[in-house]
């Protein structure tokens, strides 16, 4: 017997930890940039699982790669080699401009590994070189260490005592970083574009200055590309847009198009401080996830999705600017790069998100008052028009 939406929601409430503030729809399946709920209603998905479904839903090459790999072997221990993991490692090294790769299961795990590598590298210089500087309003994950690196106290409340050695400075404020950094700093840990904190893009000279400070103090520059990486900015990694090279970079979300995965990449100079047993993972980089990652990277290249992200992202940006001009009392700023865009509101955004959802459009609100747009990278201008039409209707009645 088919379960009703209400039955599914009740079952979830009875047995799932209440850590999510869910919207009252049950997703059934998806196709391209659209998903369908359990009652057959169609939605255009401009959230894409929070920047995960870079190829949309049901992408044929991705689905085929997953199915083919599942028929061969889904998982094996990292005590053994697999061809598909080796292939993904080489692809990630080449597109990132870094040398060595570690595959994990999530963005939080990727950042956790990057923090460990940075700490271990710092200890090769001095036993006191362990401090990590991150940014206010950042988001790096929900493990205890990544939660501590996250510059938002609301996520840390109740989990004290937090691990030591972390501090925060305002994002895009080079003077504040210069005042904080010291010989004890082992790493400066930043999102290249802040996502969860409200889609904040740094000034053009900011990262060049951060790089110089890191070099001066022998500190590593670690860039979190969990949300803004995998082509979302119009470059494979947003640091390539800003002409800065990190010592370590982390990626996840879009890397395998929805199959859980994460990765951190490092220069040879940094990576060599790890040896067998220093880090590991049971599931990280298993054949199924690696096959999905290879398929996504190939699709981004074969379907020219970086170019599409720039073109359609500009179109979406301009359309949002039009709404800002039309509703200046509600929208004060449009910001972002490519297809990671935000609309700063003068009011909380949840009611706007809920009204869009009722009209078949999925977007979300981050930082309380920023509408976030992170759709699949293969959307068209027609899809943008579809969303903008609905958002216009909603704003007119807000």
Residues serving a catalytic function are: 139, 224, 253
Planar angle of CA 250, 73, 294, nearest 5 degrees: 35
The Cα 136–Cα 164 span in angstroms is 17
Instruction: Give the tokens for residue 52.
Output: 């995960």
- Strand extents, DSSP E, the chain: 27-31, 34-37, 42-45, 100-104, 131-135, 166-169, 185-191, 220-224, 248-251, 262-266, 331-337, 340-345, 361-362, 364-366, 370-373
252 by DSSP, 3-state: which?
Answer: coil
Are the CB atoms for 191 and 252 separated by under 8 Å?
Answer: no
Query: Phi and psi at residue 168, in whole multiples of 5°?
Result: -135, 145
Query: Phi and psi at residue 381, in whole multiples of 5°?
Result: -65, -30
Query: Phi and psi at residue 98, in whole multiples of 5°?
Result: -105, 180
Dihedral through CA 374, CA 375, CA 377, CA 382, nearest 10?
-130
Q: How many helices (H) and strands (E) does the chain have?
A: 15, 15
Closest listed residue to residue 257, CA positions, set 302, 301, 287, 289:
289
Closest listed residue to residue 207, CA positions, set 182, 240, 234, 184:
240
Instruction: Give the tokens for residue 141.
Output: 């994950």
- Angle in degrees, 0-180, between the axes of helices 83-96 and 287-302, rounded to the nearest 10: 40
Q: Which residues contact 89 (CB under 8 A, 6 or more apart)?
A: 101, 103, 285
What DSSP string runs through 268-288? HHHHTT--TTSS--SSTT-HH
């Amino acid at each position: 017997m088919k379960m009703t939406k209400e039955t599914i929601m009740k079952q979830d409430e009875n047995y799932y930890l209440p850590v999510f503030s869910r919207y009252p729809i049950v997703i059934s399946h998806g196709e391209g940039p659209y998903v369908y709920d359990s009652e057959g209603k169609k939605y255009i998905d401009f959230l894409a699982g929070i920047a995960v479904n870079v190829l949309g839903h049901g992408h044929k090459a991705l689905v085929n790669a997953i199915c083919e790999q599942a028929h061969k072997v889904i998982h094996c221990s990292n005590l053994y080699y697999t061809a598909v993991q080796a292939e993904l490692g080489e692809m990630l090294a080449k597109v990132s401009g870094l040398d060595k790769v570690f595959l994990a299961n999530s963005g939080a795990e990727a950042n956790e590994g990057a923090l460990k590598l940075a700490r271990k590298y710092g200890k090769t210089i001095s036993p006191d070189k362990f401090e990590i500087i991150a940014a206010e309003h950042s988001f790096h994950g929900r493990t205890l260490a990544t939660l501590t690196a996250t510059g938002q106290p609301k996520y840390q409340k109740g989990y004290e005592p937090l691990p030591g050695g972390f501090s925060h400075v305002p994002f895009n404020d080079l003077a504040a970083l210069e005042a904080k950094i010291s010989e004890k700093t082992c790493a400066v840990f930043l999102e290249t574009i802040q996502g969860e904190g409200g889609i904040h893009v740094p000034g053009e000279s900011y990262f060049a200055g951060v790089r110089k400070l890191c070099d001066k103090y022998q500190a590593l520059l670690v860039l979190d590309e969990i949300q803004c990486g995998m082509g979302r900015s119009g470059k494979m990694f947003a640091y390539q847009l800003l002409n800065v090279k990190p010592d370590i970079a982390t990626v996840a979300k879009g890397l395998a198009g929805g199959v859980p995965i994460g990765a951190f990449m490092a220069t040879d100079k940094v990576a060599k401080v790890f040896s067998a047993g220093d880090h590991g993972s049971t599931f990280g980089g298993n054949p199924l996830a690696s096959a999905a990652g290879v398929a996504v990277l190939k699709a981004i290249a074969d379907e020219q999705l970086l170019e599409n992200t720039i073109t359609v992202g500009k179109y979406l940006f301009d359309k949002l600017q039009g709404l800002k001009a039309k509703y200046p009392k509600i929208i004060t700023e449009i910001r972002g790069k490519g297809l990671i865009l935000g609309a700063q509101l003068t009011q909380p955004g949840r009611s706007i998100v809920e009204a869009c959802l009722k009209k078949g459009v999925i977007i979300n609100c981050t930082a309380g008052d920023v509408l976030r747009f992170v759709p699949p990278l293969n959307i068209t201008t027609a899809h943008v028009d579809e969303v903008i039409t609905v958002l216009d209707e909603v704003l007119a009645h807000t």
